[in-house]
Amino acid sequence: MGEAHGRIHFPGNPWPEGHALAEFAWTARVIEGVVWCDLHLRSANYQAERAIEEAEDEDHESSWEAPGVWGNYHRCTLSSTHWDSDRGFPFCSVGDFTPDWLDGRTFEVDTITTGTLEGIELDNLAFHLYLLGHDSVANHRITFRRIGESDRFDIAWSGDIALTYAGDDHLAHRFEARITAVPFPTPA
């Protein structure tokens, strides 16, 4: 894994400042002449920068707002490669894959317009998520911005989360990640 420079935020969770990234990898592979993108992100421990002590009688409207629940799961892994290798999403043909071509492009992946994952085969989604258990993620919006004329990119990645581990299929939560100065990958 490459050195990670960036943060991930989960709006409405107990850490509005977000969480540092411990790992990030951007890789590419070729399948039948098409370049596929893979992303792997792991956050630092949720409480690494600021531990939150809760009173025993403290009540929260949902597990999303409860620091103790987050503490039980330690950190987030959002990845197309961590659990298996046939996820990710297609970029373009091999001949088009250059830093110039990619600069400023935004990709929308696993668009779910109904707001729920009910009836969706979760194993067919491009990314898997470990957040408050093995949850699910969709409606990704991933933007790549080249840094000057270099081979480095800043990546803005957001999406919707369903707490499927707890039996909830509704895409009721969000994540927003910003990763900086990531090297342009050479397709394998």
- Residues linked to residue 182 through DSSP beta bridges, in sequence order: 153
In a domain, 33, yes or no: yes
pLDDT at residue 57 in the model: 65
Q: Domain containing 65: what range? A: 6-183
In a domain, 1, yes or no: no
In a domain, 169, yes or no: yes
Spatial neighbors of 115 by CB under 8 A, at least 6 apart, are 170, 171
In a domain, 40, yes or no: yes
Find the range with the poorest average confidence among 1-5, 72-76, 114-118.
Answer: 1-5
How many domains are contained in the chain?
1
Indicate if the alpha-carbon torsion angle 147, 177, 185, 28 is positive or negative.
Answer: negative
Q: Residue 1: is its pLDDT beyond 60?
A: no
- C-alpha–C-alpha distance, residues 65 and 85, integer Å: 33
pLDDT (tens digit per residue) in 53-70: 877 667 777 789 888 888
What's phi and psi for 163, nearest 5 deg?
-85, 65
Q: Residue 2: is its pLDDT beyond 60?
A: no
In a domain, 17, yes or no: yes
pLDDT (tens digit per residue) in 9-24: 999 999 999 999 999 9
- C-alpha–C-alpha distance, residues 159 and 139, integer Å: 5
- C-alpha–C-alpha distance, residues 60 and 70, integer Å: 12
CA-nearest of 113, 110, 109, 77 to 91 is 109
What average pLDDT does the chain have? 92
- Residues linked to residue 134 through DSSP beta bridges, in sequence order: 130
pLDDT at residue 150 in the model: 96
pLDDT at residue 61 in the model: 77
In a domain, 45, yes or no: yes
In a domain, 22, yes or no: yes
In a domain, 188, yes or no: no
Residue type, 150: S
pLDDT (tens digit per residue) in 78-109: 999 998 877 899 999 999 999 999 999 999 99
